[in-house]
A and B are shown apart, each in its own frame.
Chain A
Amino acid sequence: MRFHHLAVRVTGLALLAAAAACSDTGPTTGLAPAPTSLIRPQQAPDMASLARALPGFGGLFIDHGVPTVYLTDLAQHGLAEQLLGGFARSHGAMGIRVLAGRFAYGDLDRWFQQVSSEAFAQGGVVFVDLDEAANRVLVGVERGASHANIRSLAARLGVPAEALTVRDADPIHYAASLQDQVRPVVAGLQINFPGFLCTLGFNAVSNGQNSFVTASHCTTTQGGVEGTQYFQSLSSQPNSFIGTEVADPVYVRSKGKNSPCPKGRRCRFSDSARAAYAAGVPFTLGGIAQTSGPNNGSLVITGTFTIVGNGGEIVGDVANKVGRTTGWTQGVITNTCVNTGVSGSNIVQLCQNFVAAGVGPGDSGSDVFLDTRAGVRLLGVLWGGNGAGTQFVYSPIANVQQELGPLTTF
């Protein structure tokens, strides 16, 4: 019988085609709607147009489902009804409500622009708003920041004191993702070494040296120390250098009949390596980035898990991991202490654990942990997965410490 061999070719052209298909359409511009558009019931009225069409207009907002208008001239009530009646009906309201306003929208808008352009130069300003629902300019400042400074600024700009409200506000943070640069550094974040992306496994102190642990194959050479330099989250970013590889035991071949390493293979009990933090890099010992929920694909950081213990898992426990590609995934530990051949190599990782949970390229090095009501227990370091991305494999923390030495992890 003749054998027919099939070779399937996958070319880079597919990649290029995909890139070409993703071109941006660029920003669009549009003209402000004319006053006549105010009677289009489904559209939110344009404030500037309303201010032009409605003398004494001071702001529009929805109050308990009813469109509510500030007017400095209450005699304009009828015109307001005429202009906004359709809009009100489209919101299920019988009509509009009119409140006596002190300030015209045009004045508020001018004061808002003036205050906004100068207030942020003062420390502690969180936001500046033309508050349509209050007929005022509203400035939010961080707790402890001076309200008086803002009031002085407004007075200098000619803004009436009664037109300004200053209140305390919580700082608004950028919604960082696991792939962004994040400080202090916690587990679960993207790390970069030349040519590759992985995930930071956990922070640790080893003989007094501030460190982090990731996968051994997330070093320049898997097994052996080459001083791999790590960046978080990318080497192309400023101030992204975080540390240097300092511990990564070599893989060893079988030594005789009683060796746990299969003949002809190279083995270790963990796929782990330790890097020493560079001086001055802030990190949180015991901290693991938390996203909004398990198995939902989100990479946005919403909080932090805190490690309170190590190990202790058995088959049937629910294990978690947070990694830069698939985020927080969770599933049942299906197998423990499995001698695992690594696809495409002669490496066997001895005594590894399997979890039925999602994994993707770049998740190597991820923290694996057990969630308890009082915090999380660190279970080990994720290093691989199956082709379908539905099962991950991790090196248990006891194996990691056996090879890297004692580690303080929380």
Chain B
Amino acid sequence: MEAHFLGRQIVFDIVVEHAHGGVVWRRLSHGVGPSILQVRTLEPGESLEWHDAWVPGAAGQYRAQGILPSDAAEPLRTAWVAFEVRF
């Protein structure tokens, strides 16, 4: 399967929201990056993972979603993951 990704190093976004709505953190909220499109062939069963860290400022109920920009009209998105932060 041929997959298209943004960037020479694949660019991904993560959005964290309060459970009741409102973006708390967005990985790509700032900055300007090259608009190059990477073309990559994925073998059957091959998976790719991307990670980043967010430091919460307050306890509470949150949810997060991963986003992969490509040249498709809409980026690929993971399902929302709900979680709780306790101090």
A interface, CB within 8 angstroms of B: 1-16, 18-19, 192, 195-198, 215, 217-218, 222, 271, 297, 323-325, 340-344, 359-364, 382-387, 389, 391-393
Instruction: A116 to B7: give the CA distance in the assembly, Å.
Output: 50
Across the interface, which residues of B come within 8 angstroms of A392, CB to CB? 35
Across the interface, which residues of B come within 8 angstroms of A364, CB to CB? 34-37
Contact B39–A361 (Cβ < 8 Å): no
Whole-angstrom distance between the Cβ of A380 and the nearest chain B Cβ? 14
Whole-angstrom distance between the Cβ of A236 and the nearest chain B Cβ? 11
Q: Which of A196, A387, A391 contacts B13 (CB 8 A)?
A: A387
Q: Which of B13, B29, B35, B83 contacts A384 (CB 8 A)?
A: B35
Q: Which of B4, B9, B47, B49 contacts A361 (CB 8 A)?
A: B4
Question: 5 tightest CB-CB pairs across the interface, nearest first?
Answer: A387-B28, A362-B37, A10-B66, A343-B31, A12-B47
Specify the chain A residue showing the minimal Cβ separation from B42.
A12
Whole-angstrom distance between the Cβ of A336 and the nearest chain B Cβ? 15
Specify the chain A residue showing the minimal Cβ separation from B76.
A14
Contact B36–A217 (Cβ < 8 Å): yes
The interface size bin for chain B is 35 or more
Question: When A1-B87, A361-B7 are in contact, do A10 and B49 touch as well, CB less than 8 Å?
Answer: yes
Contact A6–B16 (Cβ < 8 Å): yes
What are 16 contact pairs spanning A and B, CB under 8 A? A5-B54, A9-B50, A9-B66, A10-B48, A10-B66, A15-B76, A16-B1, A195-B38, A197-B36, A218-B36, A342-B33, A344-B9, A362-B4, A384-B32, A387-B28, A393-B32
Contact B39–A8 (Cβ < 8 Å): no
B interface, CB within 8 angstroms of A: 1, 3-9, 11-14, 16, 26, 28-40, 42, 46-56, 64-71, 73, 76-78, 81, 83, 85-87
Instruction: A368 to B51: give the CA distance in the assembly, Å.
Output: 35
The residue in B13, B30, B34, B55 that gathers the most chain A C-beta atoms within 10 A of its C-beta is B34
Contact B47–A387 (Cβ < 8 Å): no
Contact A10–B68 (Cβ < 8 Å): yes
Instruction: A343 to B9: give the CA distance in the assembly, Å.
Output: 11
Across the interface, which residues of A come within 8 angstroms of B5, CB to CB? 361
Specify the chain A residue showing the minimal Cβ separation from B29.
A387
Whole-angstrom distance between the Cβ of A378 and the nearest chain B Cβ? 19
Whole-angstrom distance between the Cβ of A406 and the nearest chain B Cβ? 26
Whole-angstrom distance between the Cβ of A105 and the nearest chain B Cβ? 44
Across the interface, which residues of A come within 8 angstroms of B65, CB to CB? 8
Contact A15–B42 (Cβ < 8 Å): yes
Contact B53–A344 (Cβ < 8 Å): no
Across the interface, which residues of A come within 8 angstroms of B55, CB to CB? 3-5
Whole-angstrom distance between the Cβ of A262 and the nearest chain B Cβ? 15
Contact A362–B34 (Cβ < 8 Å): no
Contact A5–B33 (Cβ < 8 Å): no
Contact B31–A341 (Cβ < 8 Å): yes
Instruction: A215 to B15: give the CA distance in the assembly, Å.
Output: 30
Contact A2–B87 (Cβ < 8 Å): yes
Instruction: A19 to B42: give the CA distance in the assembly, Å.
Output: 11
Contact B39–A383 (Cβ < 8 Å): no
Across the interface, which residues of A come within 8 angstroms of B78, CB to CB? 8-10, 14
Instruction: A26 to B37: give the CA distance in the assembly, Å.
Output: 30
Question: When A7-B52, A11-B48, A18-B76 are in contact, do A342 and B32 touch as well, CB less than 8 Å?
Answer: yes
Question: When A6-B83, A10-B78, A385-B32 are in contact, do A344 and B66 touch as well, CB less than 8 Å?
Answer: no
Contact A195–B40 (Cβ < 8 Å): yes
